[in-house]
Structure 1
Amino acid sequence: MSHKSSITILSSLFRPENDARPTLLLGAGASFTSGIPLAGESVRRLAKQVFAERELCGRVPVDQIKPSEWVNWLRNHDWFLPGEENLAENFPLIIEHLLQPEAYRRRLLLELTSIKGDIGIGYHALADLVLRGLAGTVMTTNFDLCLPRALAQKHPHIRHVAEVNRGESDFNEFSLFAKAQIVWLHGKAEQYTDRNLIEETKTLETVLLDHLRPLLDATPLVVMGYRGAEDSIMQSLLGDANQKFRQGVYWCTRGSEALHPNVEALKARLGRNFQQLEISGFDEAMRDLNLELAGIQRFAQPVTSQEHQEFDDLVCEGATWADIDADLALTTLRRYCEKLERGPVSSAELKPLMREIGLLRKDPEGNELPSNGCVLLFGRQPERFFPHSVLTATISDKKRTVFQGNLIKQYNEALNWLETKDVNPEIKVKGKQKHVSRLAYPERALIELLVNMIVHRDYEAREPSTINVEDNYSITFTNPASMSARSKVRLATDENGAFDPVPEFSDLRNRSLCDVFFGISAMERAGTGLIDALSLCTDAGGSSLFAFPPGAERFVGKLFRPGASAGSAAVSIDRRPIGTYTLNTLVFSAIPQFITKLRVHGGWANLKSKAALTEAGPFVFESRSNLLWTFLNPALSSAIFGDAMEGELEEIPLSTADDDPILHKKIAWLMRKHFEGYLRSFEVDGLMIEKTKKGFPAKRAYFKSKGQRNRTIIYDSPLRKGIRRDVVKRRGDDSLPWFECEGFGYEVVRFGEGWGVRIKPFYMFTKKDGQSPLPGYLRTKRATRRIRFDRNTNVESDFAFWGRFLSRGQQTISIGDGHVQDLILEGSFFTADVTEEGLLTDDSSAEDRRPA
């Protein structure tokens, strides 16, 4: 059997359609490429070290010991099994007879299994599978730390890794359904519980076996990197005659490697329940398995207990699912899963994902309710439950702005405020030979402190977070948050509570909030935020201050402009000049994964008579081919169109659109019809869709006059409330009036790997009724005159207005018309950070881009 065939079989075991997740058993071979020696090499290293330290009293360095010296020395022991082929069998013997006492054994074993560089790709791939819920329990005969390190690098997205059998009677964390669980079959060397002596390798403890046997009965067992030499595993764990392994044992070997006699005996006993799989190696197998299952995930069982949970993990008292903006949650968590390479999430998978990451919880009565973190992140009105969870911003203690709503909204709006000239103006900084122009505060430093404020504040405190700009001097972020016990140990503070940030140290106060903000790339995992802020400010000629003032129960972060006063290897900082650009496109943050195609018998007349079209929502029908296209799922499509259908319907993945021009056109057409359906909800505001002479939508919409008078729209921006905008203006004189009406053209476009709706504002000039267009030549004349007065500020104002108007001030726009849950647009135009040297002067796309 080839490696490729083996991966196909293994991938079928790990897929979420199977009720039981496989249990893995790893041996020393799994850690070999991470620098951990196999049993034979371990014997060589240990023998050389003991010989150098005990026989030669350390007079000769270990690396200078010759093979003839340690080999002959070992042969003089009557317990030693001679022969190169038996070298690995001496591993428990050398530990039994040479590594005495326990402290000496512990030191040598920890040195032997210390990780000098990065761990192998196999462990990284295994951690990916655990993150996506496809793997959960890993049993290991090893005592190196490769697996814990790989799983720790997924923190905080893997919130907790259960470790079983680290010490005596250490079974409290064992679970049949654990999200991430390591079972140390032979204990851990750090805690003197490694079982490597001769007697210890014969059996496992009865209580450990009692925990593991139900797991092995219920799940497939996949073995990698293990020879099968120890009786403790082959006889004690796998050799029980009553254990049939009905889910199967899949024993992986490298190439045509022969099975150990113990494994041959197991194979003979299990018969068809045992299958030998050929793989190229542990790293190659786990890498290819992870690739084969890319984008596939299984959602873990929800956690029901509220004991020992942090505040953001607790059920929000009085809140229900109706208090959650599901569209915002879906949009945000799709980005979360994309960042973590977990795969796409649909509306049907939203709640299972939120259960897994702790945003949905069960109360003592078993009701599923949103957690405090869920309401803070995605609540429609979180201030109902957390009235103090607002952010206030002032300039010289004046010009107060209050950011409220959920934390995603607060983050976006506060970020816009920090980018304004009143907060972060451009200044001239004197250099040695000349001065340069730059922003007063590095933008990334402001972002780091803003995110730190949002995710680490104490939301039980009855006071808001604040930002205050002291003109021409500094900007201060103040947050209700007392200093934790861990921070007191790691951070050295002076008499004023000031401290220097410590690389790689992060004390996560609200893990659910941190998890989501990590997942949407707003912050980094490694705890480098304050380090980066300090470094960026220093490099820019300014400085920074971080403190927990004594007795104040708050954190203060302060950034100083140049002239006011004077890292981690895991996360890099891009110091190149960055320009932020806004494209005139509303991007789809969620789209259906499939489009449904069916054929209608008898054409349009039959479709109208036999299908409940009022329940169908938008669809595309081609009269020439009698084909109908819809985003409704097959079950709902059959229910609505079934009586008019001819043959079977077909469900086509949207991912194939780029290879099929006809499908691409149908998807764009259908998305546009949904968008037009959404635009009709603005008829009460005077927005109308222009029609062609044949009565079809002309892909343009504009405002009509209000009773042959001006029309004014009042809207809120992130920084101002109650902005008045005259979208229809009466022009001309009383004898020959006409109207200047704001509008926009629209089209659905492919946008990178996704889709979007491109908006192009324009002016429609109408007759005195305020809605009928003037003749073409008159419109052209007035448009030419009007465009002379449009400058960049007008363009910025247009985009700000249309974004807020079309989104109704919300962060997402659902255009699914209640029928399609996964058709959601971002509530603001797409922005991108671009390094200035990357902008080409001849870039033809500049016409659709404006500086933010």
Structure 2
Amino acid sequence: MDAFIEALQEKSVVLLLFWICIAESDTTCDSGGPMSQQESVRILTRIFRATSGARPVLLLGAGASFSSGVPTAAESVKRLAKRVYAEQVLGGGVPPEQVRLTEWQTWLHDQLWYLKGDDRLAENFPLVVQHLLKPAEYRKQLLLDLINPTNGIGKGYHRLAELVVKGLVSTILTTNFDTCLPAALGAVRHHIGHIAEVNRQSGDLNEFSLYAKAQIVWLHGRAEQYSDKNLVEEVQQLDPELVGKLIPLLADSPLVVIGYRGSEPSIMEHLLRDGAAQTNKFKNGVYWCVRKGETLHPNVEAFQRQIGSNFEALEIDGFDELLDQLSRGLKSEDRYLHAAAKGASASIAFDDQPVAEAAVADLDHDLMIATLKEYCEKLGRPPVTTETLPGLLREQGLLVQRDGKEMPTSGCVLLFGREPQRWFPHAVISTSIGGKKRRVFEGNLITQHRDLIEWLGEKDANPVLKVKKRTTHDERPAYPERALVELLVNMLVHRDYGRSDPALIVVSPGENVRFSNPGGLPDSVVAQLELDDGGRFKPRAEVSALRNRALCDIFFGIRAMERAGTGLVDVEHMLADHGGETEFTNDAPGGRFTAVVRQPAASAGSKSVARDERHTEVYVLNFIPFVSIPDTISVVKLTGSWRDRPTHLPMDEAGTFTVQGDQYVWSFAPLPILLAVFGSYADKSASRAWRRGEIEADPDRRRVLSWLLRRHFERHLRGFALRGLVLEESKNRGRRAYFEGNAARARCYVYDSPARKNIQRWVVKQRGPDGYKAWFENEGFGYEVTQMDGIWGIRIKPFYMFTGRDAKKPLPSFARTARSTRRMKLDRNQNVENDLTFWGRFLSQGAQTINLGQQHVDDLILGGTFVSVEVIEEESGGAADQRSNPKAA
């Protein structure tokens, strides 16, 4: 052990100790005390950065949970004394809240063991536990009630969980017994995997690891296991075996102690002061944070004298405030940016197994960028780029090393593969309506998710019913759309992809929709449910298990799933509110899970009239967002004007660009490429690469950026020339594109949707008679690059161009205006929505994303669908509540 410790001491180690004095201390810091909060945050931010060699270890005390409603030691003494007095002295006849101060306080002060003095109130906590909380079950009951976070989990704990997700901290030591820490980490466990818990009871050290991704060490045990150490003799010394495991960690990693006063000998003497000799006096520094206006506990001052200049006091305002500022300062930090290729995961889960025959080239790069950008945005991680994508995929276990070769896992291929059915031909979903209209949905899971949502929204699958109310009737879908989507996501992420059985969605018109999936419920879930002889069960909140953690992680990150364990319960509630019913069945022998949703009860036998209450509506906005934009823009200043540029310049090699003021060339292409293209005609000293944030901060530069984005979009539009789409020459009406006729005749465009194949849409229609009076109605759209809520995108406005008998040349403006006015009278909201759906399909060619990067440019990706917003409708028809933020439909 000594040799191991000496080896660890040779590494670069930082010991970070956060300490927040508890509220009842009335001492103050002297003038030579700790530095300001701002300076403290600056120092700690540097220590937490992803580039730091050592990861901080946190030690949390009662002060960290104070804002969550968990009392400090002094307040705990008061609450416990009052309750014991009410229940044991008064025999339970008077509720604790009715006991008066003069009653319980006089009784407490009369106890022979009580330490007198308000400044020593907190020191009485172990004495109260020892003398008043007996027997063991009574002690457990009162402590569990005491540590319940009545205010909910504090902001600081959630910020700490975010740092764990980013890999900036992994091990947390705590003297507390409350549930704030495990609850905060549990809320993000889908992104961090297993959460190790060490020393929940005596000898429970098996899960300890020097390299854990998320690890809680309960220094004094847990109240639930009767292992909490609160008595005087119990806080003198820690478990020697536990200390033996912690010392190497403390010699090589940062430690965070939050809200700990430093009074227990078990921590201050047995762990820290005795450990100083084995860690070379914590040679990389101890940073002890003191709450503003308070001083160090005498035990901490003694520890400071022992390690000398390696100790530094930092002033903070509080745990929540500190973690909030640290989180903001570390927003762009994430260890995956620096991830190296890792060995294959030891997990035997199907989605973690490598696909030996697959390569990175078999993955859809644009789809990964678009999907994982949204994933990172939700988790507060830096936006993923082409450079950082491999590191993120490795960190998430989606790319692994086998025999010196990097390969995607099954989960990665299922999520992002260009042709995942090459390796998993059974990974499709078969649908049918009324025993007919059979359709097989294939492609990767992101594509299946999008296409099946659209299919489930069609009237064949979810018809509109006339729903009777008390005095009127309303029209709404037979099934809550969100319920169908919830069951679809459940099918995609919880399926057993190791089985070759088909996944089925069967619509029985007028009756129900059945989702049948390979893979029954895990045994751990079955053990917590009550199943009847047929395998039917009623779902319970937060009873869940993740069969495919990699798939669940991505779907959670893109907001397609809510927190674990509520999906089926939500479906049950939605159907009940809607007037329908649900049935969930686990077929253990057949290894299948089935969910059936039944539409509201029919009225007088009608399949189109039913009864129910509530309603949500999805609104489609005419805005296609950019899901990825390069972070750098090159601006080249020319030595002369653009008009006078030399004719020999190889402009074909410059890619897409725009010119500002006849002298500045803007492009997403790397600056060296542009300088090579313009050669001596470029003023190299006045040319530079700008960060996009700098550009967007200036209104004039932001406008030029919009021109550049528009140029890329227009270059994409010109690629549809063979399909008859042309850009309008005139700029008087803004930027527009429209279809021309086919050889002076109408034009039909044929495309596929998730619901139907070979859809015919007449995009150019003849409206006038044959001959010289003939005229045509041509579909088109206006477009502009704009920002919505800070997000760049393309705003699309469908319109009709009216052309003469050649179906190309526009009619005179007065003739177009008259026809346009008459045509607009025929359009309704549904027509407009259908137009947007068509244009989204056309521009993306049915793909999830549109790569506008073209030559030299990576990561310029436009979404493949318009933004949609789901809104709950009031009885009066107004929007009562916006259910979700705008996102791609």
**Residue matched to 1:6:** 40
Match among 347, 365, 373 for residue 411 of structure 2 = 373
In structure 2, how many angstroms separate the alpha carbons of the residues matched to 1:264 and 1:637?
A: 62
Cα contact 2:625–2:794 (8 A) shared by 1? yes
- CA positional deviation for 1:647: 2.1
Aligned to 2:378: 339
Which residue does the alignment assign to 1:30? 64
- The Cα of 1:162 is off from its aligned counterpart by 1.9
Deviation at 1:385, TM superposition (A): 1.7
Contact 2:520 2:587 (C-alpha < 8 Å) held by counterparts:
no
Specify whether residues 108 and 759 from structure 1 end up closer, same or farther in structure 2 by C-alpha distance, changes over 3 A only. Answer: closer
Q: 1:682 aligns with which of 720, 723, 732?
A: 720
Is the Cα–Cα contact under 8 Å of residues 619 and 629 in structure 1 kept in the other structure?
yes
SS in 1 for 2:720: helix
SS of match in other structure, 1:675: helix
The CA deviation string for residues 611-658 of structure 1, in whole angstroms up to 9 with x for no partner, is: 76444321222354x223222356666676686233254454444666
Superposed, 1:307-706 pairs within 5 Å as 307-358=346-397, 360-549=398-587, 551-563=589-601, 577-604=615-642, 613-624=651-662, 626-633=663-670, 644-647=682-685, 649-655=687-693, 659-691=697-729, 699-703=735-739
1:225 to 259, 265, 279: 259
Deviating more after overlay: 448-457 vs 381-390:
448-457
1:829 paired residue number = 866
Residue 253 (structure 1) shift: 0.9
Displacement of 1:812 after TM fit?
0.5
The amino acid of 2:447's aligned partner reads K
Of 780, 791, 796, which aligns to 1:754?
A: 791
**Match of residue 816 from structure 2:** 780
Write out per-residue CA displacement over residues 786-823 of structure 1, whole angstroms, 9 at most, x where no aligned residue. 94796457655543333222212211001011533221
Which amino acid is the alignment partner of residue 463 of structure 2? P
Instruction: Indicate conservation of the 8 Å contact 2:624/2:865, yes or no.
Output: yes
CA shift, 1:397, in A, is 0.7
Distance in 2, Cα, partners of 1:318 & 1:132? 31
Q: How far apart, in 2, do the equivalents of 1:531 and 1:54 lie? A: 42
Contact conserved, 1:30 with 1:225, CA < 8 A, in 2?
A: yes
The structural deviation recorded for 1:445 is: 2.1
CA deviations over 1:425-475 (Å, ceiling 9, x no partner): 222234455544332222222222222222222222212222222222222
Report the CA distance between 1:181 and its aligned residue. 1.8
Taking only the aligned residue pairs, the percentage that are identical comes to 48
Residue 255 of structure 1 corresponds to: 292
**SS of residue paired to 1:445:** helix
Q: How far is the alpha carbon of 1:494 from its aligned partner?
A: 1.9
**Secondary structure, in 3 states, of the residue corresponding to 1:518?**
helix
Q: Secondary structure at the match of 2:110?
A: helix
- 1:686 Cα deviation (Å)? 4.5
| AA matched with 1:589 | V
**C-alpha distance in 2 between matches for 1:461 and 1:655:** 48
Q: Which moved more, 1:408-417 or 1:422-431?
A: 422-431
Q: 1:807 and 1:308 mapped to 2: Cα distance?
A: 37
Return closer, same or farther for 1:513/1:732 CA change in 2, 3 Å cut-off. Answer: same
More deviation, 484-493/601-610 = 601-610
Q: Match for 1:349: what amino acid? A: T
Rounded to whole Å, the distance in 2 between the matches of 1:557 and 1:631 is 49
Per-residue deviation, 1:284: 2.4
Q: TM-score if structure 1 supplies the norm length?
A: 0.86
Question: Is 2:636–2:664's contact at 8 Å kept on the other side of the alignment?
Answer: yes
Which residue is 2:186 aligned to?
Answer: 152
Partners in 2 of 1:266 and 1:637 — Cα distance? 60
Residues 614/431 of structure 1: CA separation in 2 closer, same or farther (3 Å cut): closer
- Counterpart pick for 1:113 among 147, 150, 160: 147
Distance 1:436 1:740 in 2: 36
Structure 1 pair 638–43 and aligned structure 2 pair: CA distance change class (3 A): farther
**Equivalent residue for 2:754, pick from 702, 709, 718:** 718
Counterpart residue number, 2:268: 234
- Between the aligned partners of 2:90 and 2:813, the Cα distance in structure 1 is 103
Q: CA deviation at 1:680?
A: 3.2
Whole-Å Cα distance in 2 between the matches of residues 711 and 656 of structure 1?
46
CA contact (8 A) 2:771 2:805 kept: no
Contact 1:599 1:649 in 2 (8 A): yes
Residues 688 and 704, structure 1, Cα contact 8 Å, conserved in 2: yes
Cα distance, 1:611–1:23 mapped onto 2, change above 3 Å: farther
Checking the alignment, whether the CA contact within 8 Å between 1:221 and 1:247 is kept in structure 2 is no
- Aligned AA (1:714): V
Q: Distance in 2 between matches of 1:514 and 1:399?
A: 30
Q: 1:202 to 1:605 in 2, by over 3 A?
A: farther
Cα gap change, 1:608 to 1:347, in 2 (>3 Å): farther
Q: Distance in 2 between matches of 1:331 and 1:798?
A: 24
In the comparison of the two structures, how many residue pairs are matched?
Answer: 828
Moved more, 380-389 or 793-802: 793-802
Higher mean C-alpha deviation, range 749-758 or range 594-603: 594-603
Q: Which secondary structure does the structure 1 equivalent of 2:41 belong to?
A: helix
CA change 1:122–1:743 in 2 (3 A) is closer
CA distance in 2: counterparts of 1:621 and 1:47, whole angstroms: 77
1:18-57 → structure 2 map (5 Å cutoff): 18-43=52-77
- Alpha-carbon distance, 1:478 to partner: 1.5
Q: Out of 325, 331, 354, which is 1:288 matched to? A: 325
- Distance in 2 (alpha carbons) for counterparts of 1:244 and 1:609: 71
Q: Does 1:265 align with 2:302?
A: yes
**8 Å Cα contact 1:295/1:342 also seen in 2:** yes
Report Cα offsets for 1:46-96 as digits up to 9, x if no partner: 667778889999899877562233333234xxxx75544444445556667
Q: 1:427 and 1:182 mapped to 2: Cα distance?
A: 53
CA RMSD for the aligned pairs? 4.0
Letter in 2 for 1:438: R
Do structure 1's residue 136 and structure 2's residue 175 form an aligned pair?
A: no
Per the TM alignment, residue 672 of structure 1 is displaced from its structure 2 partner at its CA by 0.8
> 2: distance between equivalents of 1:51 and 1:610?
96
Once residues 724 and 530 of structure 2 are traced to their aligned partners in structure 1, the CA distance between those partners, rounded to angstroms, is 62
Task: Report the CA distance between 1:685 and its aligned residue.
Answer: 3.8
- Cα shift at 1:387: 1.1
Tell whether the 8 Å contact from 1:304 to 1:361 is kept in structure 2 after alignment. no
2:848 corresponds in structure 1 to: 811
Change (3 A) 1:303 1:237: farther
Q: Which moved more, 1:259-268 or 1:57-66?
A: 57-66
Q: Secondary structure, in 3 states, of the residue corresponding to 2:499?
A: coil
Name the CA shift for 1:214/1:776 in 2 (closer, same or farther; >3 Å). farther
Asked if structure 2 preserves the Cα contact closer than 8 Å seen for 1:474 and 1:564, the reply is no
Shift of 1:202: 4.5
Cα offsets for 1:512-533 (capped at 9, x unmatched): 2222222222221142222222
Indicate the larger mover: 785-794 or 717-726: 785-794
CA distance in structure 2 between the partners assigned to 1:271 and 1:629 by the alignment? 57
Report if the CA contact (8 A) 1:11-1:293 is conserved. Answer: yes
CA distance 1:100–1:348, shift in 2 (3 Å): same
Q: CA deviation at 1:147?
A: 0.9
* Contact kept in structure 1, 2:172 and 2:256, CA below 8 Å: no
The residue type equivalent to 2:664 in the other structure is: L
Counterpart residue type for residue 394 of structure 1:
S
How far has the Cα of 1:838 moved from its partner? 12
Give the C-alpha shift of residue 760 in structure 1: 3.6
Residue 312 of structure 1 aligns with an amino acid whose one-letter code is D
Q: 1:531 to 1:165 in 2, by over 3 A?
A: closer
Residues 1:245 and 2:295 aligned together? no
Q: TM-score scaled by structure 2?
A: 0.82
C-alpha separation in 2, matches of 1:617 and 1:162: 51
1:690-732 alpha-carbon deviations (Å, 9 max, x no partner): 4469xx9984444456667765543222222233445567887
Which range is displaced more, 523-532 or 166-175?
166-175
